[in-house]
Amino acid sequence: MQREPIVSVIGPGEAVQFMESMAFDVGRGLAELGITLVCGGGSGVMEAACRGAREYGGRTIGILPGADPEEANPYVDIAIPTGLGEARNPLVVSSGQLVIAIGEGYGTLSEVAYALRLRKHVIGLGTWAIPGIDEAVSPADALEKASAALGLSI
Residues that bind its own copies (CB under 8 A): 1, 3-4, 6, 36, 54, 61, 63, 67, 69, 72, 74-91, 94-95, 106-107, 109-110, 112-114, 116-118, 130, 132
Distances (CA, A) of 23 to 9, 51, 81: 8, 9, 22
Phi-psi region of 20 (alpha: psi -120 to 50; beta: other; left: phi over 0): alpha
DSSP per position, 97-130? SEEEEES--HHHHHHHHHHHHTT--EEEES----
Question: Which CB sits closer to its own copies, 84 or 144?
Answer: 84
**Cβ proximity to its own copies, 63 vs 139, nearer residue:** 63
Q: How far is the CB of 80 from its own copies (least distance, A)?
A: 5
Looking at beta carbons only, is 38 or 100 nearer to its own copies?
38
- Residue 61 CB, shortest distance to its own copies, in Å, is 7
Q: Outline where DSSP puts E strands in the chain.
A: 6-10, 36-39, 60-64, 78-81, 98-102, 122-125, 134-135
Taking the complex as a whole, how short is the minimal distance between the CB of residue 138 and its own copies, in angstroms? 26
Residue 36 CB, nearest approach to its own copies (Å): 7
Which CB atom, from 92 or from 100, has the smaller least distance to its own copies?
92
Asked whether the beta carbons of 63 and 95 are under 8 A apart, the reply is: yes
